[in-house]
């Protein structure tokens, strides 16, 4: 009789809690306070013993879509395409995104009760149909990455939520602090309902 795997759809608060638990576990392992930008590769390798490998590009036989990143629970490896992640902020996000798959969607997860896949291939966002199962997994991994790279508590230590954030003045400092792209920074501020000006990007709810 096959063991039935419980499928969970994580909410944003659930993912935030998972990130917090993972950070606490990681801090116990390294025995020092975590600083940002977080070393995502070290976080993954020390927390789950998963190897992170960077390749010029990732080609999978029989797979036509462009692969941004790849996670194999059985092999315990993550592969990141350098061709699709040329900028540091994008590279950090893709690696953190794969960390989300490890934590939320694999047998390596402490909860060990969600849908398990032999491999998780991460493609460009426009290739997913909103609302389907793959889109949901990608949204959850994106949400994990956002909370890992830009923890709300650290952001609020550096910005007063009652003040308007002038992105022409603040973006350089904040993107370096968190190791993210300006687009991701602006999206995070949008989701947290900060008042901003001099935005380069526009988002909708």
Statement: residue 117 has pLDDT above 80: no
Q: Are residues 170 and 27 in contact, defined by beta-carbon separation less than 8 angstroms?
A: no
Given this model, what pLDDT does residue 1 score?
42
Q: Record the tokens describing residue 94, joined without a space.
A: 């893709």
| Interatomic CA distance for residues 151 and 72, integer angstroms | 27
How many residues are listed for the chain in this entry? 205
Q: pLDDT, tens digit, for every residue of 34-70?
A: 999 999 999 999 999 999 999 998 877 766 778 888 8
CATH numbers and ranges of domains, the chain: 12-149 (1.10.10.2910), 151-205 (no CATH)
Statement: residue 110 has pLDDT above 50: no
Given this model, what pLDDT does residue 112 score?
42
**H or E element in which residue 27 lies:** helix 12-30
- Between 133 and 149, whose confidence is greater? 149
Q: pLDDT, tens digit, for every residue of 167-186?
A: 999 999 999 999 999 999 99
Statement: residue 127 has pLDDT above 80: no
Q: Are residues 123 and 69 in contact, defined by beta-carbon separation less than 8 angstroms?
A: no
Residue spans of beta strands (DSSP E) within the chain = 51-55, 67-72, 77-81, 120-123, 165-166, 196-197
| Range from 67-76, 110-119, 169-178 that averages highest in pLDDT | 169-178
Mean pLDDT in residue range 79-92: 93
Q: Record the tokens describing residue 121, joined without a space.
A: 């291939």
**H or E element in which residue 158 lies:** helix 152-158
Q: Are residues 149 and 37 in contact, defined by beta-carbon separation less than 8 angstroms?
A: yes
């Amino acid at each position: 009789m096959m063991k039935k795997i419980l499928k969970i759809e994580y909410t944003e608060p659930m993912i935030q809690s998972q990130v917090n638990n993972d950070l606490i576990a990681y801090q116990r392992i390294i025995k020092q306070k975590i600083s940002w930008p977080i070393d995502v590769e070290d976080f993954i390798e020390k927390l789950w013993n998963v190897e992170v490998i960077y390749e010029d590009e990732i080609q999978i036989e029989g797979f036509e879509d462009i692969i941004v990143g790849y996670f194999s629970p059985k092999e315990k490896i993550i592969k990141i395409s350098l061709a699709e992640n040329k900028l540091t902020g994008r590279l950090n996000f893709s690696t953190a995104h794969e960390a989300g798959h490890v934590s939320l969607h694999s047998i390596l997860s402490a909860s060990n009760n969600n849908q398990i896949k032999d491999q998780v291939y991460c493609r460009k966002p426009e290739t997913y149909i909103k609302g389907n199962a793959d889109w949901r997994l990608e949204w959850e991994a994106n949400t994990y990455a956002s909370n890992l790279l830009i923890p709300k508590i650290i952001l609020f230590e550096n910005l007063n939520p009652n003040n308007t954030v002038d992105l022409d003045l603040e973006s350089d400092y904040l993107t370096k602090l968190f190791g993210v792209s300006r687009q991701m920074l602006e999206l995070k501020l949008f989701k947290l309902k900060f008042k901003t000006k001099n935005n380069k990007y526009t988002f909708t709810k």
